[in-house]
Every structure is written in C-alpha cells, then in structure tokens.
Structure 1
Amino acid sequence: MERVEKLFDALWQDFTTRLCPSAAQVHDLLTEEEPLQNDHIALRTFNLPGVSLDVLAAPFIAIGYKPCGTYHFEQKKLYAEHFEHPNPAAPKVFISELLVGQCSAQLQNTVRALVKQIPEGAMKDASFLYGGRLWELDFATYEMLAAESEYAGWVAAHGYGANHFTVSVNQLEQFTEVAAVNSLLRHNGFSINESGGEVKGNPEVMLEQSSTMADRVDVSFTDGVRTIPGGFYEFAKRYPQADGELYPGFVEASADKIFESTNM
C-alpha cells in the first residue's frame, strides 16, 4: 500500500493546491477520530494516442489496480472505466475520456494541436497525473472548447490532476446520510451540485452521491490569468449487495450529473 499512498498523497497535494483549495476545509469539517476514507478519485483526458484513458490508467495498473467497470455517456461524448486495488482500503479510480472524433472538426483540430505540444516522454512517469497542463493555451481557445464541451475546456485548461476526491460517507459516525452532509456544507457556505437533485442515486441502485460545485481558481493562459471552474469534492454512500459486500461500481445516470459540478 505504500506506493498507493504515495501516489494519492501527491494527487491530493496537487488537488488542494491548484484545483480545489476548499477541499481542505471540507476535509477538516468532516474529519472525526479516524482519518477520512477516500472512496475514489476521478481523472479526465482525451481519447487520442499518447493521452488516452489507457495511458492514465497505466501508473495505477503498475501498483496493482485492475479494470472493473465500463461506462458510456453518449450525450457528453464520454467513455469511462473504473479501477480497483486488491486492498479494499485503497481508493477506486474513475478515468474518463472525451471521444474527440464525435466532436466538431474545430474541436478535433484544436485538441489534437494541444496534445502535439506535449514534450516527448512527459507522460512516462506517474508524476504527470498531478502535473497540470502540458501545453500552451490562450483564453479564447479555452472558451471555444468549453462552449462545445465543458469537459474539453476543463481538460484543456487544467491538464492532468484529480478532477475530484470523494469522501466515503459509510465510514462517518456523525453522519449516516448524504443529505445530512449536504446540509452541513450548505450551513458552512458551500454550494451543492443540484443537477439531477442534490442527492444522485438511491438505495435501489446501491449508491448515493452528491458533490460541491467546483471551486473557481486562477489559471494562467498565454494572454493572462483568468478565474474558471476547477475541481470539486464528492460524497458517496454505498449500499450492501446480496453477498453483504458494499456495491463497488458506479451508476451512469448519477455520474452523468456529477460531471456537471464543473459547469460554468
């Protein structure tokens, strides 16, 4: 587990420094006697050679993770997989990719040009997962991409890093319901993603989720610094399956709405 912890510590450091500074406050609000358990993280990319989902998954597979589920988001033109480690205490990893070929010619050409800027060998080491943007980008290009695909704009602006971390509500003693966590966060000034309802999912699908709306963070573009949506914090409650084990997967309908936590 040492290699797993080292990687997730680096991802958390990048996440709270660059993408979602408020996550540290949420973490402190919910921490009890035991350290908070991270249910999963999510990463975003493009399905292009050299940067595809498989490339992002490789460092996790190298430390013992295995693919465990596939997901399709047709309206958002996304494909995703989730990965699990043999040690159940290790967080799950949810990696999605934009199906660039299904987008406009303008978006395709722009994204391909960005990816071509990546220095050779820059993604051979696991550190790229929390290394940020590997290409230059101006604000107008970001806006153009985001207008067609919020997801494309986000990846273009931020590059690589955890889009979100997720508190496991199952391990909390003070709260047993996702709705109660939402109430605490609202009371402390956080905005909750209301797309599809504040709580996505239900006991029937064996997973309930909610999330804050993304922090607005400063990002350097070639023509100046602008403030745009960054990362967010998610909360997940899993229900037991027939065998008594907690449901390990994800629910497409709920995940579809969680993606919208980074909407403008």
Structure 2
Amino acid sequence: MEESVQTFGQTLKTLRKQRKLTQKMLAEGICAQSLISRVENDEELPNALVLQQICQRLEVTMDQLMLSQVEEITELNRKFDEIHTHFIQTNYEKVYTLIHDENFINQLQLEVDLQRYYYYLGSCQYYAKNQNQFAIESLKRGILYTYGQNKSNISTIEIQMISCLGRVYGESGQLEEALKCTRYCYNCLKEMPNERKTFELVKVAYNYADILFQLKELDLALEAIEEGFLLGQQFSSYYYLKELFLLKGLILQKKEKMLEASEYFELAEMIKKIENG
C-alpha cells in the first residue's frame, strides 16, 4: 500500500496543532482567521508574504511547508525535546553528545533552530567543559540569529541566552558585563505577561541574584530570589529551586542571620535528595 501524502492544507493544520495554536492564534497579526480555515481545507493558497509570516510563526521553512515535510519537522522537534529534557536535568554531557550528532546538525535550517543549538552548545561549553571563552562566542553567535531584528517582543529563548551569557561573563570576572546582561533579562522577565512565562525562566532570576551576590548587593539579590520562588510556585516546578535555596542561605549567612541561613541550606539539601531519587 502506498504511503499517503498530506496536502498543503493538511500539513498546515498538523503543524498548527503540534504547536498548540488555534486558527485564531496562528492568524493573529497576519491574516483573517477565515483565510487559515480556507487554506487548511485546501480551498485557497495564501500569498507569498502571508505564507512567509505563517512559516515564521510555525518555525518551519517555506520549503518544508510547501513540500509537506511533516515527518522531517516532527523528527527534528522530537530531537530538540530529548535534548531539552536532558538540559533541564542538567545532564550537560548527554546534551553535548546529542547536539554533536551529524544527522541532527544537518537538519538545522531555521534561524530559531540554529539559535537553540548554540544556546545548548554554549551552555555545555560552560557547565560541562569549563570553556568560558568558547561559551561566550557560541552564545553571542546564537543570540545574533534573531535578536535585534526589529521584533516587538524578545523571546524566552533570547532571554535565557543573554542571561546565560551574563553568567559566563561573571564566571570570567567580567562583572560589569555580567550585571548588564543579567539585569536586562531580569527586567524582561518582570515585564513579561504571565502567559508567556515558562518555568525555565527561574534560572534568569537566579543568574541575576548570583551576580548581585558577587557584587555584595545583598538586598537586591534577595528580591530577585523571591521572584524566582514565585515563578517556580506558578509552575509547581523544582527547577533551580535548590540553587535558589542555597544562594539565599549564603546571603543570610553574609547578613549574619545564621539560624535562617541554616534552614535554607537544609532545604537545598532536601531538594538535592529529591533530585537524586
């Protein structure tokens, strides 16, 4: 039996649903919702400008959409999901191995995909390989793919990359640059609507608080930590909770509040035990 081939409209509908977008969400700012409906029903084709904007929102190339390459797109997303799972678990050595797979690299075509690749690469170079200069170069390269291209909103991945860059600057002794990057990202986080926030942004609050701690701005650091706690609670997430507890303990220790500090050190140890199973 021959394998069935999806039409252009069917491909668009499949990708839209994979991205968890309604027709209204996909159409917003691009075209009428009714046009998306007609396209998905193979009753009409969008013009080149509308098609380009739809592709950007779906994070696919025009060739992939026009050639109905759903399986190729799905496979790449599956690989990115696997990489991200290990990344969240701070298994950076595994991430480093996965992103160096030649087949995976050859599938990277979109700027957003290349940006994610360099975010993971730069993070691994910093956390796993202690290659700070290489990490700075990779993160800068990734940021430049999309950042500053007259966009109305900075994306969450851009915020995470700039924040990570600030962290590496701090580790390299460049505290002025570190503060500039992490403070900018923290302010973006504070101004971001709740519906756009993700649990990964807790790390942004932590990075800023850590630089403030190094600069002995203890009260400001505590404020950033509290913001991280609130964001973690919003998503019922343990992500970077251990690090926040530990940093708050160190700050309280500096403020000579030893009893409170010990409580946060104990909480950090509890989270560590939970993570280790």
Shorter chain as denominator, the TM-score bin is under 0.3
Structure with the larger RCO, 1 or 2 (CA within 8 Å, 6+ apart): 1
Q: TM-score, normalised by structure 1?
A: 0.24
Q: TM-score, normalised by structure 2?
A: 0.23
Structure with a larger share of its residues in strand = 1
